[in-house]
Each structure stands twice: as C-alpha cells, then as structure tokens.
Amino acid sequence: MASKAIRQILINACDKKRTKKRGENEPLIPIEDVEETLVFTDQMADSLKNIDQLLKALEVKQPTYGKIIECRFFAGLTIEETAKVVGTSPSSVKRSWHMARTWLYSKLSA
C-alpha cells in the first residue's frame, strides 16, 4: 500500500508542477502536503507520467507484475520482502521482476 501511495504522490506532483510554479525556501510541511514540495524537471515529469501510463497498461495484463514493480521500484523492497507482500516465492518474484523490467524497458525504448 505504501508503494502505491509513493507512486501516486510522484505522479500527482508531476501533474501539479505543470499547473503552478514552486516557491523557494518553503518551511517544513505536514506529510499530507509532500506533493507540493517535490520538484521535477519537465523531462523527469514526462518520464514519470510515461512510466505510470505503461504500468497501468501492464497491470491490466499482469496485475502481479505491476505490484512487483511498485514494491521493488517505488518502495525499495528486496526480492524476499516483495515475495511476502505478493504472497509468492522469491524465485517467482525474480522471474516476474525480470519480465516486468524487460517489458517496461522495451516500451520505454520504443
């Protein structure tokens, strides 16, 4: 759940970056407002949005792959930790992680 929240925070921050400029030297803010503090270049924002769209397409075809990418990429979980979250073996996670990364890379390279 945390990895999905991190993914959504990043995507929301990319969307908000396009709608207004950020101020400098902002004070500490509550966690609810963390999206407002993230700063992305236009290229970074475009890349994250593209990855999000590809992950949504992947989740339709292979929901487990999307969950594994969220756990590994957005939450930084290990193979073993991801296996516990997904409810499968570490070897299955390794195979799925490799397949999901290969699919994502091929789509991003196109």
- 42-60 pLDDT, tens per residue? 888 888 888 889 999 999 9
Residues composing the chain: 110
Based on C-alpha coordinates, what's the Rg of the chain?
A: 16
For residues 1 and 66, the model is more confident at 66
Confidence of residue 19 (pLDDT cuts 50, 70, 90): low
Q: Which amino acid is at 9?
A: I
Confidence of residue 74 (pLDDT cuts 50, 70, 90): confident
- pTM, entire model: 0.64
